[in-house]
Structure 1
């Protein structure tokens, strides 16, 4: 059994197509098919069911795939560890972030990191805090940036508290309210545009309204801040976003809240970070403290 055979199996499983898998692996399809067939003979079981229309994993393939991925990840990590021992950071770095991250300038950090470590392949995914926490736990995300209510904290991962801030109300430019600052209670009769129920961003707002003893109506539930802002601009309701993030927005009006909801941003990473992830954490920590990158990534 060879690592290249495992790569071919993973590629076919993910693309569900031998031709696309061969293109991804940069080999001719006949070579890929031959290697997978050889592996199936060695294992004594077919990994894929092939028809003229589709390719899918057999039960044996379903059992084999997680172990194949683990082997490839272990091999990649071994290469990265050896390279790090000789002073070079390489490998892959999967970053996840909430859309409204504001405690760090993430594009600038990624640019700086890429300049320092050009041999690291970086990917970025935008998702909700709960999804990102699970991604780090499953090792599909190396480092993630979250926004949580002040009393919440990430569990079973390494973390660094980046900072906190209050939320503000955002309304359309022609909204009839003229105040620069209001109480939450005065907004209770307004239609709201917010994240889906249960999302960390939604929980912050729900807790704040519950604390002042009022209920609000949320007819519009969205999954992204951009969509929320688009609906706000059309005058369909009031949104609530972190103040630092709201400052970036155009064509909306910001209203401060006297009893505002708050959130805290965290950076989280795996308990055994890869050299690439450790270097990125070190870079962000240095930016937060105003020091030069270098040192360990202990849990706070």
Structure 2
């Protein structure tokens, strides 16, 4: 009946059996047979003919109007079903920095999953070098990183936010009286960093070269251990905020902006993906994520 409904609405829309038959790719006689078969199936006259003209009966007008709605819904059903079928084979693989607050990332994932409910999501947390390797060798589709992969030229990226550096230091420290602290004022105080063994040299280089800190570093295996050492007043804990800061437990540490010459130290964060692996939803996810970060920077 769906095919006959299509034929019937074309006849009414075209106001011609000949034009409707040509548009549907069948003969005029076949079109007339299909309309008669439809009326027999419904046991109702839809078209009244006479003097080479025809007009709809009240039942025919109702069937025409409701039929257009049904055909529209059928078309949407077909399109949406095919889309879901394609999504079943789709998976978005996201890599992000281990120390990155995931608030904006969670919001972006929720928005994309609502639009593509059948799409799968895979995540991988790592440090910058690990994420760049994942992107280069096809382990991820998009990464949230603090720098553009220097050895991969064929990439797309969009800016997300600026990371702001802080120190967390024991409430017993006299430095807690300061509104901000300059790098030069920390040269004789140990810097506490939570990082695995294989990333410690990289973190040491960042602290010495990028932040200008002295090579006086205490490494911890976990963030919890690092905070314990800071609470014990063994040194200051280096932290970075990239967006909305989640709620934290009441711990005896004071967070103070880390500055150089009175200006808070920052670094840029981007969403990055390979051009040769770009799908529409990868860029869409990156743009959604960008908007979520923009909300926090207004």
TM-score > 0.5 by shorter chain: yes
Does structure 1 residue 240 correspond to structure 2 residue 241?
Answer: no
**Aligned Cα root-mean-square deviation (Å):** 3.2
- Say whether residues 1:188 and 2:187 are aligned partners: yes
Mapped to 2, the partners of 1:246 and 1:168 lie a distance apart of 14
Using the TM superposition, give the Cα deviation of residue 230 of structure 1 relative to its aligned residue in structure 2, in angstroms.
Answer: 4.7
Equivalence for 2:164: 166
Supply the distance in 2 between the matched residues of 1:262 and 1:203 (Cα, whole angstroms).
16
Q: In 2, distance between residues paired with 1:167 and 1:127?
A: 19
Describe how 1:13-52 pairs up with structure 2 within 5 A. Answer: none
Deviation at 1:183, TM superposition (A): 1.6
Q: SS of the residue aligned with 1:258? A: strand
Aligned partner of 2:99 in structure 1 is 100
CA distance in 1 between counterparts of 2:283 and 2:273 reads 8
Higher helix share: 2
Q: Structure 1 CA distance, aligned partners of 2:114 and 2:206?
A: 37
CA distance in 1, matches of 2:140, 2:112: 17
- Shift in alpha-carbon separation, 1:165–1:103, aligned structure 2, 3 A: farther
* C-alpha distance in structure 2 between counterparts of 1:226 and 1:267, whole Å: 28
For the residues of structure 2 that align with 1:186 and 1:154, how far apart are their CA atoms?
Answer: 33
> Greater shift after overlay, 188-197 or 201-210?
201-210
What is the alpha-carbon distance in structure 2 between the residues aligned to residue 220 and residue 138 of structure 1? 30
Alignment deviations for residues 36-78 of structure 1 (CA, whole Å, 9 cap, x no partner):
xxxxxxxxxxxxxxxxxxxxxxxxxxxxxxxxxxxxxxxxxxx
1:202 and 1:102 map into 2 onto residues whose CA distance is 22
Q: Is the 8 A contact 1:92 1:120 kept in 2?
A: yes
- Given the alignment, which residue of 263, 283, 287 partners 1:285? 287
Q: How many residues align?
A: 198
Q: Which runs of 5+ in 1 are unaligned?
A: 1-82, 291-300
Match of 1:140, SS?
coil
Provide the secondary structure at the position in 1 that maps to 2:175: coil
Distance 1:115 1:203, change over 3 A: farther
SS of corresponding position for 1:105: helix
